[in-house]
Structure 1
């Protein structure tokens, strides 16, 4: 789930009676569950999907990267679409599109159709998800908003634990002979329930004076992201032709052009996609780079861990999902412990740095566990994965609040949107980079065990970079 700051909303209709507010919240949570499950399931099912379709190895990367890359592009404008055209309307459009894309995934007969459908899932998810936060602030009085948002934590935790298990079980169970296709078909009843609930219980709302869409900025940042990720994923299979390096160079240039375009747009009195003054703030730029390194390491590690378990240790999808449970439980525990006595709020940067150190130590423990052996068991991996998850929980708890502490209140909306997009883009970049590193090492004679060791050292390097950049951040989050 993306962490975002919802804009203040002004209703165009009376809010529902009190008793229906919690029903409406349940409808919003359905959307969160669909997104969380679909962000996780292909990590477990990827090797099976690739084998069934006879697809190249890069397909496994695109199943994850296509979704997160599209989400990164869409989240920048998804919230503004709700402000302009109505949050309930965009919620309905996003849900309907997400369900349709899920059905297309389930019916896909080739990797191109499947990856395209995953991209559509990401785009419609980016339209859907931001609306829930604005609607919650619209429906609930201020004293109950915190309680309403409090439901997201347990939902995230249950999805993190249950998602991989559900994906593995559905693939192994081969219900109705559908195999991996069931991981997408489960969205149909959830989505239809969400559509019915939205039509019946969600109020319509929008923000007066909402900023206009910056389509030029969207086009530039989308092109830059795609031109960077695409050659990283495809370059290995194509033998790294010269155009792959040219594409990455053009991508870096387009990021610069995007910054110039946004500054020019602001000077002309138009609404920029990202407020340019943010990049003159050390805390924000440092946090953006740190976040990119951090989330790239997390998502890349998750994919390559699944590849190692299934291709190297020959675990079934279900056993793979069960093996990752300690990591998910560790994340929940880390979040919970960081909240005790307001620990994350009082000692934000120290808690963040401590979490990163714990993650790095667990990575070193992982290297020692797998080095020189091909017979590692789930129980042997449980301690290091649990420790990795615990560090994740501690690090993520104060992360966004600490970065946003360095921006002014009028910039917080733009900063939050940029951080959410960067989080998703980092996931795509991590899947592309670490996935390519894994396949390259595995095919180059190191084997799957050697490949995962190389990836683990790369993850350790990204965590070290993240730790160094955290010193640019404020010590604590801004007080309310």
Structure 2
């Protein structure tokens, strides 16, 4: 007798009965996807508020994103295999429960370290939960129903991408029950409990019947190699790039070389490697990994730094920052159906998406250049729509094209590896572009202060301030702006800012009739210099993002022209 998806038995040769609760089970799977999607987006909006409450350095902001995605990247390499070994329903429920626990720990975190650790737990649990959905869907649905089932993912992912930043901003501003930013994590508790309870009743039991031993050594090597490259990229700037940081990055290459040899040796001995080595003999797949790494690094790095610019640079509230990103999400939703209509063009559609997205990013640079520090969300919206539209064009055909040359028996390993590279790219994007952005701030704020100095001197002179005092205040404002932008601990007022405050008080005390004006012009000049410096850093960061998108376009020439044809053969 043979087990069916419902956990029953049937005679050999009989058609398997479709799982009775398959549509309810799909809803549970989508609930898990929603939790993951929301939590991968919310910290880009909440990070400045979290840092203001818990303290920590600029690296804390980067780790909130990179810790989650790095943990998920490593976990995805084994998440699907765990489902093969112990049952997909069981691992989905354990992953959902772990994700809920991680969300609770995030919500009650009392230090940056505890919060980042809880984010890592969320990422590992998500990597255990998410891969099980595809395996269960393949067992639950007949081939003619699979298209309908998969079609539910597009709207759900699109809605989540729109709702994530807006929901995070609203929850922070609403400060429900005095929880502030904590509610962005605590809201997962009812969702997680629902996923576990409903999953117990509606997810299909049973095993796929092809489990094998875990490659724990391979998993540890992959985790070590990824950690050795991401950690220095996040922490290097704040530790002044000691030599051992570069040793760590070089060590990452050595570890990945050992990992590759281990995987080959394990396959030759008849074991089941973490990643099927034969995948890397296929140019299309290897190139697809490079495309995914570069593209997702640029996309996530852009998302993080742009949110920081809106809130810290322009002073937007979390809700306003979230609402300001709706045009980007809306453009992405619009791009997906256009990409589906262009499906026969395959790689061309993907490359068109990269070019359109790069044009949108260039449009943002132009908007910031023309509008200056007074730029409004409405002025940013057109370029954001174009950026999102390009992203939709690129992402829709990406996975199908990359997997075009993969053999059926390699699909599981290929899908897990591609998803892991996507998350690793996200972690690298948060690390690299976050480091670039914060590294540029101090110098550009100081340069902006120099440019604003003549106007400040004129205003101070009109208030009766002597030339020597003008020199002291302008020099102090420059130093304060630079030190505040580069401060490792935002909760601590830099010594230069303390001196500036003292100098301004002294000048105001000596000219009581102009005291209010003196304070006002110094504050206005400092704010203008800070916004200008943030804008300059953002424009350079956007230039790097555009460069990564153009690199994505070029690497994509190595991909197969289009996805696998219906007859199951790969396109040459």
* TM-score bin (small chain): over 0.9
Q: Which residue of the partner structure matches residue 542 of structure 2?
A: 456
Judge conservation of contact 1:16–1:203 (CA < 8 Å) in 2: no
* Corresponding position: 1:356 with 2:354: yes
Distance 2:564 2:17 in 1: 33
Distance 1:117 1:91 in 2: 19
Structure 1 residue 374, shift from structure 2 partner: 1.0
> Bigger relative contact order, structure 1 or 2, given CA contacts below 8 A and separation 6+?
1
* Corresponding position: 1:117 with 2:113: no
* Corresponding position: 1:310 with 2:311: yes
Q: Which residue of the partner structure matches residue 430 of structure 2?
A: 431
Structure 1 residue 143, shift from structure 2 partner: 1.8
Judge conservation of contact 2:81–2:214 (CA < 8 Å) in 1: yes
Judge conservation of contact 1:47–1:307 (CA < 8 Å) in 2: yes
Structure 1 residue 17, shift from structure 2 partner: 7.7
Q: Which residue of the partner structure matches residue 6 of structure 1?
A: none
Q: 1:10 to 1:457 in 2, by over 3 A?
A: farther
Q: Which residue of the partner structure matches residue 397 of structure 1?
A: 396
Give unmatched runs, 5+ long, in structure 1. 1-8
Q: Where do residues 192-271 of structure 1 align in structure 2 (5 Å cutoff)? A: 192-271=193-272
Q: Where do residues 29-44 of structure 1 align in structure 2 (5 Å cutoff)? A: 29-44=30-45
Give unmatched runs, 5+ long, in structure 2. 9-15, 446-532, 567-572
Distance 1:37 1:245 in 2: 34
Distance 2:373 2:199 in 1: 50
SS where residue 305 of structure 1 aligns? helix
Instruction: Spell out, residue by residue over 1:201-260, the C-alpha distance to the aligned partner (whole angstroms, 9 max, x if none).
Output: 112121213232111110111000011000100011111111111110001111111111
Q: 1:19 to 1:406 in 2, by over 3 A?
A: closer
Q: Where do residues 383-422 of structure 1 align in structure 2 (5 Å cutoff)? A: 383-422=382-421
Distance 2:274 2:319 in 1: 42
Structure 1 residue 412, shift from structure 2 partner: 2.2
Judge conservation of contact 1:88–1:202 (CA < 8 Å) in 2: yes
Q: 1:276 to 1:177 in 2, by over 3 A?
A: same
Q: Aligned-residue CA RMSD in angstroms?
A: 1.5
Distance 2:292 2:315 in 1: 33
Q: Which residue of the partner structure matches residue 478 of structure 1?
A: 564
Structure 1 residue 18, shift from structure 2 partner: 6.1
Structure 1 residue 137, shift from structure 2 partner: 1.8
SS where residue 238 of structure 2 aligns? helix
Distance 1:357 1:158 in 2: 25
Judge conservation of contact 2:19–2:204 (CA < 8 Å) in 1: no
Structure 1 residue 304, shift from structure 2 partner: 0.4
The structure 2 residue matched to 1:469, chosen from 555, 561, 565, is: 555
Structure 1 residue 445, shift from structure 2 partner: 2.9
Instruction: Spell out, residue by residue over 1:304-352, the C-alpha distance to the aligned partner (whole angstroms, 9 max, x if none).
Output: 0001100111100000000000110111110011113xx22x1011000
SS where residue 536 of structure 2 aligns? helix
Q: 1:126 to 1:161 in 2, by over 3 A?
A: same
* Corresponding position: 1:13 with 2:12: no
Distance 1:209 1:416 in 2: 17
Q: Which residue of the partner structure matches residue 442 of structure 1?
A: 441
458-467 vs 224-233, greater mean Cα deviation: 458-467
SS where residue 371 of structure 1 aligns? helix
How many residues were matched structurally? 469
Structure 1 residue 365, shift from structure 2 partner: 1.0
Distance 1:212 1:331 in 2: 40
Q: Which residue of the partner structure matches residue 370 of structure 1?
A: 368
Structure 1 residue 443, shift from structure 2 partner: 2.1
Distance 1:162 1:77 in 2: 30
Q: Which residue of the partner structure matches residue 521 of structure 2?
A: none
Distance 2:291 2:242 in 1: 30
Q: Where do residues 162-173 of structure 1 align in structure 2 (5 Å cutoff)? A: 162-173=163-174
Q: 1:280 to 1:375 in 2, by over 3 A?
A: same
Structure 1 residue 21, shift from structure 2 partner: 2.2
